[in-house]
Amino acid sequence: MKNKTDYDAIVIGSGPNGLAAAITLQQKGLSVLLVEGKDTIGGGMRTAELTLPGYLHDICSAVHPMAAGSPFFKTLPLADHGLEYIHPPVLAGHPFDDGTAAVLKTSLDETFTLLGRDADQYRRFYAPLLRLWPGIVNDVLGPLRIPKNPIGLARFGLKALPPASYIARIFHTEAAKGLWAGMAAHSLLPLSSLTTSAIGVVLTVNGHLTGWPIAKGGSQRIANALASYFQALGGRIATNLYVTSLSQLPSAKTILFDITPRQLLQIAGHKFSSLYRWQLNRYRYGAGVFKVDWALDSPIPFTAPECREAGTVHLGGTYGEIAYGEQAIWDGKHPDKPFVLLAQQSVFDNTRAPEGKQVAWAYCHVPNGSTVDMTEVIERQVERFAPGFRERILARHTINSVELEAYNPNYIGGDINGGTIDLGQLFTRPALRFSPYRTSAKGLYICSSSTPPGGGVHGMCGYHAARQALKDVFGLT
C-alpha cells in the first residue's frame, strides 16, 4: 500500500457502484485506491463453483438489463477489457398452468402481438415510453433535481408512479397481467405499493431497448472488466482489507463508501452530526431472498417452449397469485407458492457447465432476516411449470437471508436492493439532504445502492456520488 499521503480518494467496496465511483474519480487524473474486504472484487457480481467442479454459478446478480442500459457503463470500453454480453432470444418468459407463456422480447412488436386482445394496450402503454427514455434516463437514474426534460419526466411519472395493482387494471388477459406482475415484483414490495410500477417499467423499457443479457463466463466478468479499465487508468485495488474503522485506511482527501447506512454508522458514525445519525438509524431495509443454485444433467424441461429459450423465467402464475405472495412476505409470512425468479444462463453460455450439462439460478422473496429453508417450495414451483425438473438435479447449493448477509454485509437481512425502494426512500435514500451522496462529515460520501437510483448493476449511484465529490472536494465537473 502507498504512503499515507498518496491518495486523493479512497473507495470502500468493489461492487458495481464502488467500481463506477473509482473509475469516475480516476478518469479525472486523481490517485484512487479501491478497497475490497474479500479476496475477490465484485460485490454482487461474483461467480463461483458452488455445486460441482466445472459448474459456474452467479452468486448474486445473474441477468443484466440495467448494466446493458446504464448511461455510465455505456461510455466505458468494457468489451476491450474482456466483457461480452450474450442475448437470449427470449428475455423473460412467464409460464402459466395451461402450458402457455407470456414473453418479453427485445422487439416491441413481437412482445405485444403475443398478448392477444391486450396487444394494442401493451403497445399504447410502452411505445411512448421507449421514445421518451433516451431523453429522461439520466433524470430517472439519478438524484432528485431539476430535470433536463421535465415534460418527458412527467409523462413517465404518470405511468411509473402508480402502484402495479393500478396499472394491472388496464390489461384484460391473464397473459398481460401476469407478465406485468413478474416485472413489478422485482421491486421486492407488495404490488399495491407506489414505485412498484417504476421498477416494472424501467426493466421492461430497458429490455426493449438494450435487452436482458447475461455476461459470458459469469457476472464476475463485468466486475473484472470494470476493474481492468480502472487499473488501466492508473487506479489501485487492495483486497482482503475489511474496513471496520477509518483508522485502517491511508489518509485521503475524500472517502466514498459503497456500503449501506448500517455499516456506515459502524465505521464513521462518530464523525456525523446527531441529525444525520438519527436519519441513518431510521433507514428501512426490505424483504430478503432465499436462493438456490443447481447443477443439472440437462436443460429445464419447461412445458411452454418459449420458456426454454428465455434467459430469465418468472414463476408465479397469475397476477393474483403473485400479488398475494408478495403481500404475504411483507406480512411476515412464507407463501406456499412464492414468486420465483429463475435464470438458466448455461442454455446460452456453454462456458458455464461441462458439455451437455447445465446450471440454473433461482430465488424467492422472504421476510427480512428469514432462516426458513425454501428449497422445497422453490423446486415445487419449477416442477409445476417444468415436470421432470427434479429428476435432472445433480447437486444444489442454497443460501438463506442471514447467510446472504454474512456473505455480503450490504445485503442486510437478505435485502439485495440496499434498502426499501418505496416512495419514502426513492429519492431521499438514505437521508433527506440536498445531496443524498454527501454525509454530514466533510469529505465522506456514500455511493451504494442505498442512494438514488437504488439497486441494480448499473453503477449510477457510484457515478453520481463521485461527481458530487469531484465538485465539492476538487472543484471539478
What's residue 309's pLDDT?
98
All domains in the chain, ordered by first residue = 7-48+59-83+216-283+419-474 (3.50.50.60), 85-214+287-407 (3.90.660)
Contacts of 331 (CB under 8 A, 6+ apart): none
What's residue 6's pLDDT?
81
Residue 90 to residue 470: CA distance in whole angstroms: 41
What's residue 112's pLDDT?
84
β-strands 90-95, 310-315 pairing: parallel
Short-list 431, 421, 416, CA closest to 261: 431
Residue 89 to residue 465: CA distance in whole angstroms: 36
- This prediction has a pTM of 0.96
CA torsion angle for 48, 342, 62, 133 (degrees, to 10)? 180
What's residue 372's pLDDT?
98
Residue 289 to residue 404: CA distance in whole angstroms: 8
User: CB under 8 Å, gap of 24 or more: what pairs does 432-436 form?
Assistant: 432/279, 435/143, 435/468, 436/143, 436/144
* Helix or strand holding residue 377 (H, E): helix 375-385
Give every residue of the chain whose pLDDT is below 50, as ranges.
1
What's residue 5's pLDDT?
57
Three-state SS for 427? Answer: coil
